[in-house]
Amino acid sequence: MMNEQIVVGCGYVGTRLACQYREQGEAVTGIVRSDAGVARLEQLGIKGLRYDLAAGNIGDLGLAEARVFHFAPPPGSGVQDTRTRHLVDVFERYGHPRRVVYISTTGVYGDCAGAWIDETHPVAPVAARSQRRLDAEETLRRWSAASGRDLVILRVAGIYGPDRLPLERLRAGAPMVRPEDSPYTNRIHVDDLVAACIAAMERAPSGALYNACDGHPSTMTDYFLDVAAAAGLPSPPLIGLEEAADRLSEGMLSYLSESRRLRNDRLREGLGVVFRYPSLAEGLRGIF
């Protein structure tokens, strides 16, 4: 039987992944929220379907026995991921997929005061967006246990790649905090994330959990300085924490309040994912 891949939330990461399956001659469908999303996929030769997971009572998405990549983000408020709950309702009503690969975030670990951590570290989400992610993980784990179907979760760090760099922010001269006040952040190049997702679908044991990051964290400030240098843009002005509280967005301040350094040994050694871009320096060289 031919494998059928369905990417729920087929945006930046999903479209690249779908193109890889299409190039291998495999059936792949992308589910998006907007007509513009469908048009974008169809231009690339990928079958696109429009469904809004925010709505309850979604119809049959054709997911029974399929291999599902769930990349749709949770809603923007609350502490539950109602979209994932609706998706599981669809599984229960119209038939279960064979396997789900879910993109969660490393935010579920909460603030670790800059410590090195791996997948055995307990979760302690602080930001509401991370609580919603944990809710999605738990919803899917309950589904997998009840249905007996496969689930693999990737906790993904900051995704960067072509067209996914903070160039507008740098061009606008937005400030960043001084290095001594800056937390550690973790990243992964989109191409390596796609490779990790495919490996998770093809060969990870069910129930497995992986940190998806390149294993080379740096401070948030170094990230902006390195991107600016690679793009030939001026470095952002550096400010103290007190000034940052007035001048940076709530979202950025929330990211600045958590610091952790993530190991990716399980992804590299356990799942055999070979990184094309093992650090930001290589990733930026590939982009510019």
Ligand X SMILES: NC(=O)c1ccc[n+]([C@@H]2O[C@H](COP(=O)([O-])OP(=O)(O)OC[C@H]3O[C@@H](n4cnc5c(N)ncnc54)[C@H](OP(=O)(O)O)[C@@H]3O)[C@@H](O)[C@H]2O)c1
> What does DSSP assign to residue 173?
T
Q: Of 75 and 278, which CB lies nearer to ligand X in the complex structure?
A: 75
- Closer residue to ligand X, CB minimum distance, 83 or 261: 83
**Chain centre distance of CA 30:** 16
In the complex with ligand X, which residue's Cβ is closer, 79 or 245? 79
CB of 35 to ligand X, least distance (A): 8
Nearer to ligand X among residue 156 and residue 271 (C-beta): 156
- The string of DSSP letters for 70-135 reads E-PPPPSSSSS-HHHHHHHHHHHHH---SEEEEEEEGGGG---TT-EE-TTSPP---SHHHHHHHH
Smallest separation (angstroms) from ligand X to the CB of 231: 18
Residue with Cβ nearer ligand X (34 or 249): 34
Residues near ligand X (CB under 6 A) are 9-14, 32-34, 37, 51-54, 71-73, 83, 103, 105, 156, 158-159
Q: To which residue do tokens 């170094």 refer?
A: 222
In whole angstroms, the minimum distance from the beta carbon of 51 to ligand X comes to 6
Closest by CA position to 266, among listed 228, 195, 201, 215? 215
Nearer to ligand X, 222 or 243 (CB): 222
The answer for residues whose C-beta is within 8 angstroms of residue 233's C-beta and 6 or more apart is: 167, 170, 171, 227
- To ligand X, the closest distance from the beta carbon of 148 in angstroms equals 25
- Answer yes or no: are the C-beta atoms of 219 and 185 closer than 8 Å: yes
Q: Let me know the angle formed at the C-alpha of 135 by 254 and 64, rounded to the nearest 5 degrees.
A: 130
Task: Name which of 162 and 243 has its Cβ closer to ligand X.
Answer: 162
Q: Give buried/exposed letters for 221-236 (b at 16+ CB in 10 A, else e).
A: bbbbbbbbebbebeeb
Q: Considering the complex, what minimum distance in angstroms separates the CB of residue 180 from ligand X?
A: 25
Specify the residue, 148 or 253, whose C-beta has the smaller distance to ligand X: 253
What residue is closest to ligand X based on CB? 11
Q: In sequence order, which residues have a C-beta less than 8 Å from that of residue 269 and are 6 or more positions away?
A: none
CB–CB of 261/114 below 8 Å?
yes
Q: How far is the CB of 34 from ligand X (least distance, A)?
A: 3
Q: What is residue 200's three-state secondary structure?
A: helix
Q: Residue 107 CB, nearest distance to ligand X (Å)?
A: 8
CB of 177 to ligand X, least distance (A): 19
Q: Which H, E and C letters describe 11-33, residue by residue? A: CHHHHHHHHHHHHCCCEEEEEEC
